[in-house]
Structure 1
Amino acid sequence: MASDSVRIDAWVWAVRLAKTRSQATAACRAGHVRLNDSTAKASQSVRVGDEVKVRLHGFDRVYRVTGLATRRGSATEAARYFDDLTPPPPPRVERPAAIVRDRGAGRPTKRERREIDRLRGREAE
């Protein structure tokens, strides 16, 4: 790689964060790509050491650029160009077993509804 910077939309596409180059450009235009904590335009240059935040499928992912890719390669090759700094998701909270009512028992009484709410973690205010 002769240059010391690459367009951010090309880099996002080359490291397989977006399926197509046009999707990478659209993500930049929509504000889903941030470069060093500021919204990135598609033509903005990315350099080694920069931090790129990308919102993918409703989740924010954080990457540090370790190499500049201009061509799209295999996934193992693409993984060489970034470090994933995304924090792990919070642990899932186990919920109590579902409340089972007999079929045909009708609507729950006020007392039963309060017990159901208490079991589901929705205490009365």
Structure 2
Amino acid sequence: MKQDTSARPLPGLTDRLRLDKWLWAARFYKTRGLAADDIDKGRIQVNGQVAKASRELRGGETVDIRQGALTRTVVVKAVSTVRGPAVQAQMLYEETAESLLRRSEHTERRRLSAEPAESIEQGRPTKRDRRQLADWQRWSASVDER
């Protein structure tokens, strides 16, 4: 029997929190370190500006999260220091309508695209094929031109 978690208040609520901690608590990343790495790489923007991991995040701000080929745009609804279950984590943000549309289009494109494994005609190279490739690379023209 499922319990209704919407009536319970979120644990660890605060008025502001570091961006990397919030991304971890909202379950966008498995660890704070992964969140901080993506922030350092410029994949996270807050209110349209590239952010730092130590940036204080408040409710009502817009966060753009680029994961792979997809960019998710969420509006911060609450800030919590506790990483709870997925149901509670989803209460910390609201994804914009445009972001949901982009995500569904991306999913549909991936579903309809060709399977990469179908382009391989013979399958994996055998040990003999690998040795031939290694011999070819050893005697390639680029090595002889030195």
Given the alignment of the two structures, is residue 25 of structure 1 paired with residue 36 of structure 2, yes or no?
yes
Counterpart code for 1:31? G
Q: Matched residues in 1 for 2:28 and 2:54: separation?
A: 17
Given the alignment of the two structures, is residue 34 of structure 1 paired with residue 45 of structure 2, yes or no?
yes
State the Cα deviation string for residues 49-104 of structure 1 (Å, max 9, x = none). 00000011321000000000211111001000000111413475x89xxxxxxxxx
Q: Matched residues in 2 for 1:45 and 1:8: separation?
A: 6
SS of equivalent to 1:43:
coil
Q: CA contact under 8 A between 2:22 and 2:79: conserved in structure 1?
A: yes
RMSD between aligned residues: 1.9
Instruction: Structure 1 unaligned segments of length 5 or more: list them.
Output: 96-125
Q: Identity across aligned pairs (percent)?
A: 31
Instruction: Structure 2 unaligned segments of length 5 or more: list them.
Output: 1-11, 114-146
Residues paired across the two proteins, number? 94
Aligned to 2:136: none
Structure 1 or 2: larger helix share? 2
With over 3 angstroms needed to count, the CA separation of the structure-2 counterparts of 1:2 and 1:19, relative to structure 1, is closer
Residues 1-125 of structure 1 mapped to structure 2, 5 A cutoff: 1=12, 3-85=14-96, 86-89=99-102, 90=105
SS of equivalent to 2:74:
strand
Counterpart code for 1:88? L
SS of equivalent to 1:52:
strand
With over 3 angstroms needed to count, the CA separation of the structure-2 counterparts of 1:73 and 1:3, relative to structure 1, is closer
Q: TM-score if structure 1 supplies the norm length?
A: 0.69
Q: TM-score if structure 2 supplies the norm length?
A: 0.59
Q: CA contact under 8 A between 2:13 and 2:78: conserved in structure 1?
A: no
Counterpart code for 2:65? V
